Amino acid sequence: MPSTDDDGDRFGERFAEFLDSIGLEELTADYREEHRTAESNLEAAFGDAPDLSETPHVAEVNRVNEHRDGSDVVVPVVPAVFEASGEPPRQRVYEVVGTVLAAVHPVFDGADCHVRHYDVQFAYADEAAEAVVYRRVTVDPGLAERALTDSTFDAMALARAVKEGDDGDDGVPPVDFQRFDARSTSAGSYAGGHAAVHAATVAASSGAAASCASGGAGAGAGGAPGC
């Protein structure tokens, strides 16, 4: 059934309530300056990308551990939602990942923390536009630095490097566009489902959002309700 503007408003309201329930502001409070800078960089880098539902943004900065030097070990999470149904082209996926890294890595590389990896969470409707598909690409800081400093390292070179480095453990970067369960309380090595829930809510005019409305998308961290 096609979604309406009212559906989109309702999804947005539910997502806002969901963020309140998990205390997302507390998760990112220590990195507001980095968050603002990264958001500005992402806006400038992506502009109005016609194949994405909205400009990717830093949805979370997850604290996953404490470093031996006493500073945080963090995972910045950036959701990206494709407008079209069906799996997106691999090259486009890694163009998005590369653009995200160029916007976000320099910001957090200079912050008073240690980045475990960058987590780009994708959502799109399946071929039948009946269900939401969630996939993620994770990239460690070393590979991110290589991608940004090597002029020969294009999107497909990044894709090959991630694929070669993916050892099958989704909690250890890099991870090559693997499916994950947004309903899981621990999607990977940390609770990273919130961004995926947001990904479905902003696709309110797509089959992904229609599926979300009918219960196809699940909860984020802590078993909180999804859309």
Q: Read off the pLDDT of residues 69-81 as tens digits, 9 standing for 90 and up.
A: 999 999 999 999 9
Per the structure, how many domains does the chain have? 1
**Residue 200 near residue 10 (C-beta atoms within 8 A):** no
79: tokens are: 């959701």
- How does residue 130 score in pLDDT terms, banded at 50, 70 and 90? confident
| Nearest residue to 221 via CA among 176, 166, 179, 180 | 180
**Per-residue model confidence (pLDDT) at position 183:** 67
- How does residue 48 score in pLDDT terms, banded at 50, 70 and 90? confident
pTM of the model: 0.76
- How does residue 20 score in pLDDT terms, banded at 50, 70 and 90? very low
**Per-residue model confidence (pLDDT) at position 166:** 98
Mean pLDDT score across all residues of the chain: 78
**Per-residue model confidence (pLDDT) at position 131:** 86
* 173-211 pLDDT tens trace: 999 999 998 766 444 434 445 555 555 555 444 444 444
**Residue 198 near residue 16 (C-beta atoms within 8 A):** no
Alpha helices in 168-218 (DSSP H): 194-201, 207-213
Residue type at 14 in one-letter notation: R
Higher confidence at residue 50 or residue 17?
50
Angle at 187 between CA 47 and CA 161, to 5 degrees: 60
CA distances from 227 to 146, 198, 213 (A): 37, 8, 6
Neighbours of 198 (CB within 10 A): 29
Alpha helices in the chain (DSSP H): 5-22, 24-28, 32-46, 90-109, 141-149, 155-165, 194-201, 207-213
**Per-residue model confidence (pLDDT) at position 181:** 85
* 172-181 pLDDT tens trace: 999 999 999 8
**Per-residue model confidence (pLDDT) at position 198:** 54
- How does residue 212 score in pLDDT terms, banded at 50, 70 and 90? very low
CA distance 55 to 65: 29
* 80-121 pLDDT tens trace: 999 999 999 999 999 999 999 999 999 999 899 999 999 999
Domain that holds residue 10: 5-223
Contacts (Cβ under 8 Å, ≥6 apart) of 72: 30, 63, 65, 66, 113, 114
* Cα R_g (the chain), whole angstroms: 17
